[in-house]
Amino acid sequence: MKIMVAIKRVVDYAVKIRVKPDKTGVETTNVKMSMNPFCEIALEEALRIRESGQASEVVAVSMGPQQCVDTLRTGLAMGADRGIHVETKEMLYPLSVAKLLRALVEVEKPQILILGKQAIDDDCNQTGQMVAGLLNWPQGTFASKVVLDKEKQELTVDREVDGGLETLCLDLPAVITTDLRLNQPRYATLPNIMKAKSKVIKKYTPEELNVEIKSDLEIVQVTEPPKRKSGVMVSSVDELIDKLKNEARVI
Amino acid sequence: MNTYCRLLRRSSTRYLLHRSNSNSQHSTQFPGFRGHFGTSRPLEQLLGDPKRTLSTVFPPLREHIGSGLTSACNVAGHTHRLPCRFFGSAPIVMQRNPKFSTINADDITKFKEILGEKNVVQDEERLLAANTDWMRKYKGSSTLVLQPRTTEEVSWILKYCNSRCLAVVPQGGNTGLVGGSVPVFDEVIITMGSMKNIISFDKVSGILVCEAGCILENLVSFLDSQGFVMPLDLGAKGSCQIGGNVSTNAGGLRFLRYGSLHGNVLGLEAVLANGTVLDMLGTLRKDNTGYDLKHLFIGSEGSLGIISKVSILVPPKLSSVNLAFLACKDYVSCQNLLLEAKRKLGEILSAFEFLDSDSMDLVLNHLEGVRNPLPPSMHNFYVLIETTGSDQSYDKEKLEAFLLRSMEGGLISDGVLAQDINQAFSFWRIREGVPEALMKAGAVYKYDLSLPVEKMYDLVEAMRIRLGPAAKVVGYGHLGDGNLHLNISLPEYDDTVLGLVEPFVYEWTSKYRGSISAEHGLGLMKANKIHYSKSPECVDLMVSIKKLLDPNGILNPYKVLPSSLTS
Ligand SMILES: Cc1cc2nc3c(=O)[nH]c(=O)nc-3n(C[C@H](O)[C@H](O)[C@H](O)COP(=O)(O)OP(=O)(O)OC[C@H]3O[C@@H](n4cnc5c(N)ncnc54)[C@H](O)[C@@H]3O)c2cc1C
């Protein structure tokens, strides 16, 4: 069985985001880029399934500019068997990504497609759901536990929902999107980094996959959230009450 | 990408708490120490909080001190001999210098008049925090903390204290590790935390001028927003102040790359014991006019003057930082790896740190949320190699090639390479967390030594043999700089063990022409040990300088130099 994992290159989680002065987007030049943390979790889960002997191959897929290859290399160093890079300079929106993934699924024929529940840059939380819809596959989103029964061709997925856990049973092939607590991703060890050097990354263009990149969305403006005002010290309870009443107008 | 990026990152702060921000969790046992490892908070938030220095950083300290500390120092005003017992070093009989006066009501009135009621602190809780050092090993019995806000106020305080012969202790973030930042008896504590303004920053030359009380981490975040970094970084960055760093000539994690503060500090403003303000606040890289006096104050641990302002050369922040966490089978491999790294990574190498398996074990057992990057087995030694450069793909390729070659050559037995900043944080957390883990493990005797790299670990092994199973001996530190942190951890302080450790450790260091204080200073702990590293002639000259600048000896008495020579 083959598992396909989508991984996205995003501004590193720990980097302080700066909005471009012209408000068209977020500054990415000279900014550290890394794999989206939820995608790391997705890849880790695929690797664990493979290591349990229930899958034979993990294919990592990334889409975007040339530098996505670095992110794929990280995925290969974590243990993915090979990579696919769909290269485009166009801005990619979830629907385009979902269409590209569907096209790749048709080529690669995996039984499971795993994605992060969202990317920490645009926070869309749409791609997994969209691709499941396009493929007409069942979906287990926000997975916090995944159990594969290869005999029965079934996946059991725990999802964190408000107030508890929901357990779903999905027939294969299926789409999974991963939540935080699913697993703790491994580090890239030197022996694996070495092995990754000889692994193959296959390139496609959207045209080759017959997908037209276009968007129904237009970004009007990107702005920073309002700055938090620093606190003030009040000298008495009376002053506090006065401020709450007259300045904050909350009481 | 759109505006939600910021929000999202905030909303997902839960994410990887254990990785990026594990700092905030370590406070369970000693909540008061959170500041030492805190991650960046907005500058304005910290700068805007005048109470932070003492009350918010240290209050819970109270619960952890007390019973263990025998302080014979609450004898202010008395002149008889008495044993003053500290756990940091061998027992010494210490005497309060009888020539110092004691504080009276008039003094307090004067101080309040000049500094304002609020800046004359007599509150018990805050006094206790200011009297006690980070390790909770040294405790003074001062009854007064003064908080100057300007150089003029520092000058006024010193002039007044000098005229009254009142002894003082300058205090920064109180993270010093040699008992230098707290009073021995009833010295007046002068805390610098209210002087926390950034005065200027020149982007073209990379020169930052600021007041001495600026917390290192605040300077780091300020500079980060300007695209620069501080030339020093250390585990105590959340609390220590630049004035304290300069006064101890702190080394830290980036020393290998950016060198000593003697090189990076371009100028200082310092106030002498008699209140004279020395303006040495130059911002020139080259200035050979007479004796370079600022160097006297760098590393003088508050014994020659109070540093009030600092001008410091800061390097630009480079975009490509890589970090590897490696395992080595023996110390010889660590050494050879260092040699190779200097040769092959030269221009991008920015840190080379090591810890032994006992240090690793402590960190894994005592710090929450830390995981072993190289499971399942333990290795004898761990090394962190950091590179900093300007070209990510070039640097990474170079580092990877170097590591793979070293692995094939057997220098490295295993390793991981951080793939994102969070992973890098969690590797650094292990190395930076060793002092904290040691604190949590019980009592600890700390030695900060400079030794020839090839000899360095022999001392750790010799000490292990000497102490047997009675104590855990751990070695870690700045291998790239030949700086060993030798720590002896045991459930409780124990004179028998201490008797085996000292003077052996000093004699051993002296024999190999090492330094008994590589970067922490002498403070109180090692004031009487200076001769292990300095000749009598040098010590005599130091004493003369001390007497010239501070004839009454009011500045940080009993510290740095042997009291027998200064009083
Ligand atoms: C977890 C931890 C990790 C550390 N790691 C390192 C490390 O890697 N490298 C290293 O070198 N050190 C390290 N240290 C010790 C280091 O010396 C201090 O952290 C720091 O440099 C002291 O700054 P501070 O503001 O806390 O000074 P304090 O502790 O308050 O004072 C230290 C000394 O300087 C004097 N002083 C303070 N401010 C002034 C001033 N404005 N004018 C005159 N004198 C002053 C004091 O009287 C005292 O003698 C570490 C400490 C801790 C707790």
- In this complex, is the C-beta atom of A15 within 8 Å of any C-beta atom belonging to chain B? yes
- Please, which pLDDT band fits residue B543 given cuts at 50, 70 and 90? very high
Give the whole-angstrom CA distance, residue B337 versus residue B265: 31
Q: What share of chain B is helix, strand, coil (3-state, %, to 5)?
A: 40, 20, 40
How do beta strands B277-280 and B306-313 pair?
unpaired
What pTM was computed for the model?
A: 0.83
Tell me the domains of chain A and their CATH numbers: 2-223 (3.40.50.620)
- Please, which pLDDT band fits residue B292 given cuts at 50, 70 and 90? very high
Interface test with B, best of A20, A121, A123, A228 (most B CBs within 10 A): A123
Atom 11 in ligand 1: residue holding the nearest Cα = B250
Contact state of A222 with B2 under an 8 Å Cβ cutoff: yes
Q: What is the mean pLDDT of residues B43-51?
A: 36
Element (H, E) at A3: strand A2-6
Contact state of B418 with A187 under an 8 Å Cβ cutoff: yes
If 0-12 CB within 10 Å is exposed, 13-18 middle and 19+ buried, where does residue B197 land?
middle
Task: Identify the DSSP state of B515.
Answer: B
For chain A, give the percent of residues with pLDDT over 90: 77
- In this complex, is the C-beta atom of B409 within 8 Å of any C-beta atom belonging to chain A? no
Alpha helices in chain A (DSSP H): 37-51, 68-78, 94-108, 127-135, 190-196, 237-242
* Residue type present at position A106: E
Give the whole-angstrom CA distance, residue A56 versus residue A150: 12
User: What is the rounded end-to-end Cα distance, in angstroms, of chain B?
Assistant: 67
B304 Cβ inside 6 Å of ligand 1? no
| φ and ψ at residue B219, rounded to 5 degrees | -65, -40
- In this complex, is the C-beta atom of B226 within 8 Å of any C-beta atom belonging to chain A? no
Chain B neighbors of A122, CB-CB under 8 A? 1-2, 4-5
Minimal CA separation from B435 to chain A, in Å: 25
Which of B224, B256, B250 has its CA nearest to residue B237?
B250
Q: What is the DSSP string of A56-70?
A: SEEEEEEEESTTHHH
- In this complex, is the C-beta atom of A226 within 8 Å of any C-beta atom belonging to chain B? no
- Which of ligand 1's atoms lies nearest the C-alpha of B177? 15
- Please, which pLDDT band fits residue B93 given cuts at 50, 70 and 90? low
Residue B18 confidence (pLDDT): 35
Give the whole-angstrom CA distance, residue B546 versus residue B301: 12
Atom 20 in ligand 1: residue holding the nearest Cα = B245
Contact state of B45 with A70 under an 8 Å Cβ cutoff: no
For chain B, give the percent of residues with pLDDT over 90: 78
Contact state of A193 with B414 under an 8 Å Cβ cutoff: no
Chain B neighbors of A17, CB-CB under 8 A? 5-6, 9
In chain B, which residue's Cα lies nearest the Cα of A9?
B420
The two three-digit tokens of residue A180, written as one number: 């935080």
φ/ψ bin of A178: left (φ > 0), alpha (ψ from -120 to 50), beta (otherwise): beta
Give the whole-angstrom CA distance, residue B135 versus residue B443: 9
Give the whole-angstrom CA distance, residue B453 versus residue B449: 11
Query: How many beta carbons lie within 10 A of that of residue B563, not counting itself?
Result: 19
Is the link from the previous residue into A173 a cis peptide, with omega within 30 of 0? yes
Distances (CA, A) of A75 to A35, A70, A115, B397, B438: 8, 9, 13, 16, 36
**Which residue did the predictor score with more confidence, B531 or B41?**
B531
Q: Is the pLDDT score of B168 beyond 70? A: yes
- In this complex, is the C-beta atom of A134 within 8 Å of any C-beta atom belonging to chain B? no
The two three-digit tokens of residue B248, written as one number: 């101890």
Nearest to B421 among A32, A230, A231 (CB): A32
Give the whole-angstrom CA distance, residue A125 versus residue A38: 11
Residue B92 confidence (pLDDT): 57
How do beta strands B443-450 and B483-490 pair?
antiparallel
3-state SS, residue B438: helix
Q: What is the mean pLDDT of residues B191-212?
A: 97
Sequence-ordered list of residues with C-beta below 8 angstroms from that of A78, at least 6 positions apart, any chain: A40, A43, A44, A47, A185, A186, A188, A192, B419
* Å from CA of B212 to ligand 1 middle: 12
Atom 28 in ligand 1: residue holding the nearest Cα = B174
Q: What is the mean pLDDT of residues A57-66?
A: 97
Residue A98, CB-side half-sphere exposure with 13 Å CA sphere: 21
Q: Is the pLDDT score of B29 beyond 50? A: no
Q: Is the pLDDT score of B566 beyond 50? A: yes
Give the whole-angstrom CA distance, residue B409 versus residue B403: 10
Query: How many beta carbons lie within 10 A of that of residue B515, not counting itself?
Result: 17
Minimal CA separation from B444 to chain A, in Å: 33
The two three-digit tokens of residue B448, written as one number: 């900060």
Say which CATH architecture domain B320-434 belongs to.
Answer: 2-Layer Sandwich (3.30)
Query: How many beta carbons lie within 10 A of that of residue B395, not counting itself?
Result: 21
B170 Cβ inside 6 Å of ligand 1? yes
- Please, which pLDDT band fits residue B165 given cuts at 50, 70 and 90? very high
Minimal CA separation from A222 to chain B, in Å: 5
Residue B28 confidence (pLDDT): 29
Strand order in the sheet with B168-171: B120-121, B145-146, B188-191, B168-171
Q: Is the pLDDT score of A244 beyond 70? A: yes
Q: How many residues would you count in chain A?
A: 251
* Å from CA of B192 to ligand 1 middle: 12
Minimal CA separation from B23 to chain A, in Å: 14
B556 Cβ inside 6 Å of ligand 1? yes
Provide the residue ranges of all domains of chain B, joining segments of one domain with +.
2-161+174-186+546-566, 198-313, 320-434
Residue B39 confidence (pLDDT): 35
* Å from CA of B317 to ligand 1 middle: 24
Interface test with A, best of B393, B420, B423, B426 (most A CBs within 10 A): B420
- For a mutational test of ligand 1's pocket, the pick from B195, B248, B487, i.e. the residue with the most ligand atoms closer than 8 A to its C-beta, is B248
Atom 10 in ligand 1: residue holding the nearest Cα = B250
| pLDDT tens digits, one per residue of B471-485 | 999 999 999 999 999
B235 Cβ inside 6 Å of ligand 1? yes
B557 Cβ inside 6 Å of ligand 1? no
Q: A50-88 burial, b if ≥16 CB within 10 A, otherwise e?
A: beeebbeebbbbbbbeeebbbbbbbbbbbbbbbbbbbbb
How do beta strands A2-6 and B198-202 pair?
unpaired
Low-confidence winner among A9-18, A164-173, B418-427 (lowest mean pLDDT): A9-18
Say which CATH architecture domain B2-161+174-186+546-566 belongs to.
Answer: 2-Layer Sandwich (3.30)
CATH topology of domain B198-313: 3.30.465
Q: Is the pLDDT score of B67 beyond 80? A: no
- In this complex, is the C-beta atom of A234 within 8 Å of any C-beta atom belonging to chain B? no
Residue A229 confidence (pLDDT): 81
Give the whole-angstrom CA distance, residue B562 versus residue B560: 7
Contact state of B1 with A191 under an 8 Å Cβ cutoff: no
Contact state of A19 with B3 under an 8 Å Cβ cutoff: yes
B271 Cβ inside 6 Å of ligand 1? no
B243 Cβ inside 6 Å of ligand 1? yes
How far is C-alpha B463 from the chain's CA centre? 24
Minimal CA separation from B38 to chain A, in Å: 15
Q: Is the pLDDT score of B320 beyond 70? A: yes
Contact indicator for B364, B370 with CB cutoff of 8 Å:
yes
Atom 15 in ligand 1: residue holding the nearest Cα = B176
Query: How many beta carbons lie within 10 A of that of residue B257, not counting itself?
Result: 18
Chain B neighbors of A15, CB-CB under 8 A? 421
Contact state of B45 with A120 under an 8 Å Cβ cutoff: no
